Amino acid sequence: MMVGSGALHATVNAIFKAGGPDKMSGRALIDGSSALLVLPLAMVVPLPSGAWLCLAGSMAVHLFYLQCLIRAYAMADMSAVYPVMRGSAPVIAAIAATVVLGDAVTPVIALAIGAVVIGTLLVAARNTPPLHTLGWAMASGAAIAAFTVVDAKGVRAAPTTMSYVVWDFIATGAGIGGFYAWWRGGDFIVAARSQWRAGLVAGALSVVTYGLALAAYKLGNVARLAALRETSIVFGLVIASVFLRERVNHTRAAGGVMIALGAGVMILLG
């Protein structure tokens, strides 16, 4: 579930990165499409009683995350910043999950997370973007870790996994997507005319990728699962090289291998 989620997450980010220059409108289209797609399910799933506070917290953290993501992608290649933001998240998430959720981090999981982090550093070691761009990427990673723990707590508190998934996307789409669309005004209408298809595809994939992640968080160890999702870095490197025509050097490729090895250890031995 988490490896599949990682692959789809990299695809969503590639669609977002390859979109038009108006990144805020692009996110409004993606998040708004996700909300519209799951809206009919709100009629059949139970209300997420016990998880409303987590939903509110998740939306606030997602807004901060998307602001950092937009700024990072506006300044550098996906292959440069995506690994940093995704790779910095597992360590923070592991610490937070241990403190907040009481999830244990075994020595094997710790070593595997370490391999993911080393791989991330290798990916970011060559041709790094300016420090302020890396700062936005690192801030995105911290936000990823924060909403990972908040959403893991929320999905465990909700009556069903689907209840939290549906209302999480409705809250994010209506709140953040609606805010971005309002903020851009007429520019959003212009962007929507050319980007609505890509936004719809990315919105549908977003529901699947984060739905898989939330379902996994309800079932298993968050520290391990959060690190497993960072296999998205490997998929992201491949997509950036093949489809976005970005240069992926040997050091970044070696980092991708380290990340894959760390994920493999967690799957087999974690």
pLDDT tens-digit readout, 155-207 = 999 999 999 999 999 999 999 999 999 999 999 999 999 899 999 999 999 99
Residues in CB range of 119: below 8 A, 6 or more apart:
87, 233, 254, 255, 256, 257, 258, 259, 260, 261, 262
Q: Mean pLDDT lowest for which of 142-156, 185-199, 207-221, 231-245?
A: 231-245
Q: Structural domain of residue 7, as residue ranges?
A: 2-269
Query: Is 67:146 a contact under the CB 8 Å cutoff?
Result: no
**pLDDT attached to residue 114:** 80
| For range 108-117, the mean pLDDT | 77
- pLDDT, position 266: 64
Q: Which CB contacts under 8 angstroms, 24+ apart, belong to 242-246?
A: 243/14, 243/18, 244/14, 244/17, 244/18, 244/77, 244/78, 244/79, 246/77, 246/78, 246/79
Confidence of residue 270 (pLDDT cuts 50, 70, 90): low
Q: Stretch 39-60: mean pLDDT, rounded? A: 94
pTM: 0.79
Mean pLDDT across the chain, nearest whole number? 84
Give the pLDDT of residue 57. 95
Q: How many domains does the chain have?
A: 1
Q: What is the mean pLDDT of residues 148-153?
A: 90
Q: What is the pLDDT of residue 129?
A: 67
